[in-house]
Structure 1
Amino acid sequence: MAESKLLRMDNVGIVVKSLDNAVAFFTEIGLKLEGRMVIEGEWAGRVTGLENQRVEIAMMVTPDGHSRLELSRFIDPPTVSDHRTAPVNSLGYLRAMFAVTDIDELVSRLIKQGAQLVGEIVQYENSYRLCYIRGTEGLLVGLAQQL
């Protein structure tokens, strides 16, 4: 039997309270809604270990078509814990980083929509300007502008 080889990363998943708010936030960053649907039934629960789950998902895709973000809103069973307020050095903490063309302009737009800058926009050597922001529902997102 041949050894399995990694082909690609299909997506990263984030559980949210409001799919509409999360879709709007990631659309503002520049992702596009690829599709939205309800996933339910015994087969889905066998994958996640949640038995008869019912979850609404929205698949967001980056402009280059290579990266996807799966936003999930659990209808049944309900969510059981909340990691959004954990410090960024917590085990298993999730943060997505996006490359952008104008970090100042985007951060300004996102702040007008209620996002908060976590620290500050910093420059790493002569390579990048970077920042972390907390967007809709307190989700942590990194932004990077290559110099």
Structure 2
Amino acid sequence: MAIRFENVGIAVRDLEAAIAFFTDLGLTVEGRDTISGGWADTAVGLDGNHAKIALLRTPGGEGRLELFEYLHPDAIETEPTLPNEIGMHRVAFQVDDLDAALAIAAGHGCHPLRGVANYQDVYKLTYLRGPSGILVMLAQDLTKGPDLTKD
């Protein structure tokens, strides 16, 4: 059997704020829709399922995020996930300039949980809370030189 990774889905409080955060980091909106109906109820397992969704793609095309904001049933507020909790943990992105990515995140009111770490001079990385409390890991590969193709 062949298998291929499709996407990670994340429920958010405010779809537009989440789209702005992730597109500012470099993802692009691939599509948007509002979903409802019997097929959505069956697929997701919620009666009266009605949500706005957006599918975002990473610049290299190797990964996608599906963001959704529930219109019905009402979204259930929960405590933000802690790094050591069982279940959906975080979404991680490799960036070529961590300081620039953190400046973008700060523009959305998102800051590192504790600071920036250096993992064996291989990665400079941090966890931060993105929109709706999503844990986002940003990492810069220190073994790669600067991208000289940039202006």
Counterpart mapping for 1:41-120 below 5 A:
41-83=37-79, 85-120=80-115
1:5 offset after TM fit, Å?
A: 2.8
Q: Does 2:14 correspond to 1:18?
A: yes
Do the aligned residues in 1 keep the contact of 2:50 with 2:73 (CA within 8 Å)?
yes
TM (norm. structure 2) is 0.88
> For 1:21-63, what per-residue CA distance to the aligned partner results, in whole angstroms no more than 9, with x for missing partners?
0000001111011111001101111111102311110101000
Q: Which runs of 5+ in 1 are unaligned?
A: none
Shift of 1:11: 0.3
Q: What residue is the counterpart of 1:28 in the other structure?
A: 24
Deviations 1:40-91 (A, max 9, x none): 10111111110231111010100011210000011111123424x2322111
Query: Any idea what SS the aligned residue of 1:27 has?
Result: helix
Which ranges in structure 2 are unaligned for 5 or more consecutive residues?
143-151
1:117 aligned counterpart, secondary structure: coil
TM value normalised by structure 1: 0.90
Partners of 2:110 and 2:128 within 8 A in 1: yes
Is 1:5 matched with 2:16?
Answer: no
What fraction of aligned residue pairs are identical, expressed as a percent?
38
The answer on 1:141 being equivalent to 2:136 is: yes
Structure 2 distance, partners of 1:53, 1:93, is: 21
